[in-house]
Amino acid sequence: MGASSSPAPGVFSPMLTDGSVSDAEIMLRVKTGDQSAFEYLVQKYRRPIVSFMYRMARNAAAAEDLAQEVFLRVYRSRESYEATAKFTTWLYRIATNLAVNHARDTRHERPEVQVSLDEPDEDTGTTLEVPDSSLNAEQAIVRRERMMAIRQKVEALPEQQRLAVIMHKYQQMDYKQISEVLKKSESATKSLLFRAYETLREQLKEFV
């Protein structure tokens, strides 16, 4: 973040990490000028936001840049922040708007296709850094092909379905959270996810 708009590094307060203070309350501390509160939120949510952005942008460098922009916007919006919704809902609305705009601006660019070594497995959430000793070479190849197929089919979903699937499957957000981020009813969100998963099931039959 640029020197002119970034907060100065703060010292994390133990009070922020004991679980007794909500993220919304911590953001309200940011609003009053508590720099360590902002640093705490960045530390807590940086990895999930980078992961979300990578699944949307399919480009590691772009994901890092977009995540940085998310937190820059969080900081710039601190004075107007109101704790009327969960902090994560507000955070992911900012992230979603940025991700959608980036996807539309770069839709004709060729995305990265390799599987990152530190990217979670599509099903287990584990990473590929340590080889799974229970898989032989052929099984490992099949798993990699399955992961690539899932990724490609998720990317091909309509925009709203893709967002919902990424939030639900990879960000572990429930229907209520997703509906709040996308500004839809819970029933509409469930319907959106049902259609998306039905499409994926049909297109991924050979891997099931």
| Cβ atoms within 10 Å, residue 162 | 20
Asked if 81 contacts 30 with a C-beta cutoff of 8 angstroms, the reply is yes
Q: Assign 107 to helix, strand or coil.
A: coil
Instruction: Give the pLDDT confidence of 129-141 residue by residue, as tens digits.
Output: 334 556 677 777 7
Predicted local distance difference test score (pLDDT) of residue 140 = 73
Predicted local distance difference test score (pLDDT) of residue 75 = 96
Handedness of CA 109, 113, 119, 123 (dihedral sign): positive
Predicted local distance difference test score (pLDDT) of residue 114 = 44
Predicted local distance difference test score (pLDDT) of residue 122 = 41
pTM of this structure: 0.74
Handedness of CA 69, 71, 73, 75 (dihedral sign): negative
Task: Report, at the CATH architecture level, how domain 132-208 is classified.
Answer: Orthogonal Bundle (1.10)
Instruction: Please enumerate, as own/partner, the contacts of 76-81 that have beta carbons within 8 Å and a separation of 24 or more.
Output: 76/5, 78/27, 78/30, 78/31, 78/38, 79/31, 81/27, 81/28, 81/30, 81/31
Predicted local distance difference test score (pLDDT) of residue 23 = 93
Helices 35-57 and 60-76 pack at an angle, to 10 degrees, of 140
Predicted local distance difference test score (pLDDT) of residue 194 = 96
Handedness of CA 64, 105, 72, 77 (dihedral sign): negative
Predicted local distance difference test score (pLDDT) of residue 99 = 93
Instruction: Give the pLDDT confidence of 56-91 residue by residue, as tens digits.
Output: 888 899 999 999 999 999 999 999 998 888 899 999
First to last CA, the chain: 44
Predicted local distance difference test score (pLDDT) of residue 120 = 45
Predicted local distance difference test score (pLDDT) of residue 105 = 83
Q: Find out if CATH 1.10.1740.10 is the number for domain 8-107.
A: yes
Predicted local distance difference test score (pLDDT) of residue 3 = 40
Q: Which of 170, 206, 195, 204 is nearest to 49 (CA)?
A: 170
Report residues of the chain scoring pLDDT below 50. 1-12, 14, 113-131
Asked if 146 contacts 207 with a C-beta cutoff of 8 angstroms, the reply is yes
Distances (CA, A) of 73 to 38, 52, 98, 134: 12, 16, 10, 44
**Residue extents of the structural domains in the chain:** 8-107, 132-208
Predicted local distance difference test score (pLDDT) of residue 152 = 83
